[in-house]
């Protein structure tokens, strides 16, 4: 099929590349000319596993990029809208870009079109889209509108798209449902997964993907409800982690016990410095605003947000607890992205913590495998922050090492080498990347989230320094 995707952010770009991968001809439209030019050259603007492979496979063949909405929608019967819906002053999602794209589509339509919203939007948006199209001269029989929320995560976006837990199609008429089922057929019948050059499926992939057909309003709520629930799981476990610290319990053991209940599950119960990114913080506010507009005060969501913000403050307190005074201390920071596996620093708890430490007079030496370019732009040149090419360089002569994002690369570091770099063998881990046992053996004073503080195993530290001598 021929499909158009308006917006080349995370969702739009990944959707366009994956739709080409499952056999469609996709055109991705964005009004950012520099971004489109880069994509036409094959330079992905984001760090995302498998995206370069998909661009290489399909760019210029069944995957095209353009700044012209007209060109993009002329031949495409289905138009996906994947533009940003940032928070407004009051917290609700600003859907003005969605509206203006619909007005533009209405002016350029030359036949029947199915307009599908992929952006995260408040319940009721589909009804507004119908109204906007009609107000702009499109007759009711010339279009359908549908909601097809996306559940991909940054860092694993391509495999999340190609091997989803579920495909939600919010359609208020049979024709829209049939068209969208056809789009996703290779994922719904498992034929994509069985194809020769398929991107490898994650171990826990559900093949074929489950189809969930709903009304458009339900689909919109499924998306907002999913993100709010996941954020709530994280805040819940962070609150439990804080109680663990006060009672000398170990959150890893507690999560193992709680998560073994199949009704609860282990996923998204990883404690840390809180969630960040372009979705959870914004979507939580937007969901609360939707509830408020309907006359329901969803206060639980406010508490989820409060606990999340508290995690950063508690982490800073932990740093102070480990180092006493902060002024003039040199701190190595590993991880600046809002989580491992991405170069995205939007609403990153790591950035917030680094800013607070700089205000306290610390000197920061930071390393992140992918987010450094974006992070550099975030700090004034006069700030006491330097960036290094490796984790070991960041650790050189530092008073302590802070882990702020859960990159696999950090878990695989040579801990002996890391310890030798540091001025003092102190690690404060905001993401529980290491086990306490591992850090004890490697000779570190180790502070983490929801677990008792660990002191070095003196014997192994002496043995390793003897061996080095
Ligand atoms: C999130 C959702 O997981 C996706 O399903 C959704 O499609 C997406 O938002 C969106 O709405 O577009 P994403 O923001 O990419 O995806 O990242 P997550 O992997 O969900 O992580 C979000 C934050 O929660 C990160 O800061 C991460 O470090 C933190 N987190 C996650 C925890 O602190 N603990 C956990 O157990 C899991």
pLDDT value at position 382?
Answer: 72
* Residue 221 and residue 112 share a domain: no
Q: Which residue has the tokens 């036949």?
A: 111
* Residue 392 and residue 262 share a domain: yes
152 Cα nearest atom in ligand 1: 7
CA 383 to chain centre: 27
Shortest-distance Cα residue to atom 30 of ligand 1: 275
pLDDT value at position 88?
Answer: 87
* Residue 298 and residue 185 share a domain: no
In the reported structure, the alpha carbon of residue 462 is separated from the centroid of ligand 1 by a whole-number distance in angstroms of 41
Q: Is the CB–ligand 1 distance for residue 287 below 6 Å?
A: no
What is the pTM (predicted TM-score) of this model?
Answer: 0.94
pLDDT value at position 457?
Answer: 79
In the reported structure, the alpha carbon of residue 304 is separated from the centroid of ligand 1 by a whole-number distance in angstroms of 14
In the reported structure, the alpha carbon of residue 154 is separated from the centroid of ligand 1 by a whole-number distance in angstroms of 8
In the reported structure, the alpha carbon of residue 284 is separated from the centroid of ligand 1 by a whole-number distance in angstroms of 12
- What is the distance between the alpha carbons of residues 99 and 13, in angstroms, rounded to a whole number? 20
pLDDT value at position 75?
Answer: 87
**Structural domain tally of the chain?**
2
* Per-residue pLDDT tens digits for 402-454: 999 999 999 999 999 999 999 999 999 999 999 999 999 999 999 999 999 99
* Residue 322 and residue 236 share a domain: yes
Q: Is the CB–ligand 1 distance for residue 230 below 6 Å?
A: yes
Q: 173, 279, 362, 382: which one is catalytic?
A: 279
Shortest-distance Cα residue to atom 29 of ligand 1: 275
* Residue 385 and residue 239 share a domain: yes
- What is the distance between the alpha carbons of residues 355 and 153, in angstroms, rounded to a whole number? 26
149 Cα nearest atom in ligand 1: 7
At 163, give phi and psi (nearest 5°): -130, 65
* Residue 368 and residue 253 share a domain: yes
Residue 63 forms beta bridges with which residues? 26, 59
* Residue 428 and residue 295 share a domain: yes
Q: Is the CB–ligand 1 distance for residue 268 below 6 Å?
A: yes
* Residue 84 and residue 154 share a domain: yes
226 Cα nearest atom in ligand 1: 5
Q: Which domain holds residue 428?
A: 215-469
Q: Which residues of the chain are modeled with pLDDT < 70?
A: 459-469
Please report, for the domain that includes residue 320, its CATH number: 3.40.50.720
* Residue 179 and residue 79 share a domain: yes
Residues in the chain: 469
In the reported structure, the alpha carbon of residue 345 is separated from the centroid of ligand 1 by a whole-number distance in angstroms of 13
CA 183 to chain centre: 25
SS (HEC) of 47-65: CCCCHHHHHHHHECCCEEE
| Whether 279 is catalytic | yes
The alpha carbons of the chain give a radius of gyration, in whole angstroms, of 24
pLDDT value at position 391?
Answer: 98
- What is the distance between the alpha carbons of residues 79 and 40, in angstroms, rounded to a whole number? 20
* Residue 297 and residue 386 share a domain: yes
* Residue 224 and residue 117 share a domain: no
* Residue 366 and residue 273 share a domain: yes
Mutate to test the pocket of ligand 1, among 120, 167, 339 (most ligand atoms within 8 A of CB): 339
In the reported structure, the alpha carbon of residue 134 is separated from the centroid of ligand 1 by a whole-number distance in angstroms of 37
End position of a domain, from candidates 214, 249, 283: 214
Query: Order of strands across the sheet with 2-6?
Result: 63-66, 25-29, 2-6, 78-81, 113-117, 143-147, 166-171, 210-214
End position of a domain, from candidates 180, 214, 248: 214
In the reported structure, the alpha carbon of residue 280 is separated from the centroid of ligand 1 by a whole-number distance in angstroms of 7
Please report which helix (H) or strand (E) contains residue 339, including its range: none
Query: Order of strands across the sheet with 426-429?
Result: 385-387, 363-367, 330-334, 400-403, 426-429, 445-447
Mutate to test the pocket of ligand 1, among 82, 227, 282, 404 (most ligand atoms within 8 A of CB): 227
End position of a domain, from candidates 214, 248, 269: 214
- What is the distance between the alpha carbons of residues 426 and 444, in angstroms, rounded to a whole number? 6
Mutate to test the pocket of ligand 1, among 85, 154, 280 (most ligand atoms within 8 A of CB): 280
**Is 315 strand, coil or helix?**
helix
pLDDT value at position 87?
Answer: 87
List the structure tokens of 385: 């922050």
pLDDT value at position 115?
Answer: 97
Shortest-distance Cα residue to atom 34 of ligand 1: 270
């Amino acid at each position: 099929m021929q499909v158009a995707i308006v917006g080349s952010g995370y969702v739009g770009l990944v959707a366009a590349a994956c739709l080409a991968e499952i056999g469609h001809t996709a055109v991705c439209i964005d009004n950012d000319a520099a971004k489109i030019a880069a994509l036409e050259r094959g330079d992905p603007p984001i760090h995302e596993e498998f995206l370069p492979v998909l661009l290489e496979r399909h760019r210029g063949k069944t995957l095209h990029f353009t700044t012209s909405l007209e060109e993009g929608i002329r031949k495409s019967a289905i138009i996906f809208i994947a533009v940003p819906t940032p928070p407004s002053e009051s917290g609700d999602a600003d859907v003005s870009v969605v509206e203006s794209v619909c007005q533009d589509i209405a002016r350029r339509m030359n036949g029947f079109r199915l307009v599908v919203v992929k952006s995260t939007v408040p319940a009721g948006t589909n009804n507004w889209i119908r109204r906007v199209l009609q107000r702009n001269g499109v007759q009711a029989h010339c279009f359908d509108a549908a909601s097809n929320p996306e559940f991909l995560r940054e860092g694993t976006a391509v495999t999340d798209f190609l091997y989803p837990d579920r495909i939600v199609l919010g359609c208020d008429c049979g024709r829209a449902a049939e068209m969208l089922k056809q789009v996703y057929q290779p994922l719904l019948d498992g034929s994509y997964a069985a194809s020769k050059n398929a991107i490898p499926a994650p171990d826990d992939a559900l093949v074929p993907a489950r189809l969930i057909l709903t009304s458009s309003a339900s689909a919109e709520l499924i998306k907002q409800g999913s993100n709010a629930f996941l954020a709530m799981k994280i805040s819940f476990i962070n609150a439990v982690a804080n109680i663990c610290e006060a009672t000398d319990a170990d959150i890893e053991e507690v999560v193992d016990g709680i998560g073994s209940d199949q009704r609860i599950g282990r996923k998204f119960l990883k404690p840390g410095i809180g969630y960040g990114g372009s979705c959870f913080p914004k979507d939580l506010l937007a969901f609360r605003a939707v509830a408020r507009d309907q006359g329901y005060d969803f206060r639980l969501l406010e508490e989820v947000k409060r606990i999340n913000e508290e995690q950063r403050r508690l982490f800073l307190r932990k740093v102070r607890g480990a180092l006493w005074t902060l002024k003039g201390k040199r701190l190595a920071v590993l991880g600046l992205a809002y989580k491992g596996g991405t170069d995205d620093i939007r609403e990153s708890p790591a950035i917030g913590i680094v800013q607070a430490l700089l205000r306290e007079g610390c000197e920061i030496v930071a390393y992140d495998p992918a987010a450094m370019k974006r992070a550099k732009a975030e700090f004034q040149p006069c700030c006491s922050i330097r960036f290094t090419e490796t984790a070991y360089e960041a650790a050189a002569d530092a008073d302590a090492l802070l882990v702020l994002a859960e990159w696999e690369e950090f878990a695989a570091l040579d801990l002996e080498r890391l310890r030798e770099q540091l001025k003092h063998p102190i690690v404060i881990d905001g993401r529980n990347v290491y086990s306490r046992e591992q850090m004890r053996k490697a000779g570190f004073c180790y502070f983490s989230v929801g677990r008792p503080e660990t002191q070095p195993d003196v014997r192994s530290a002496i043995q390793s320094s003897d061996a080095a001598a």
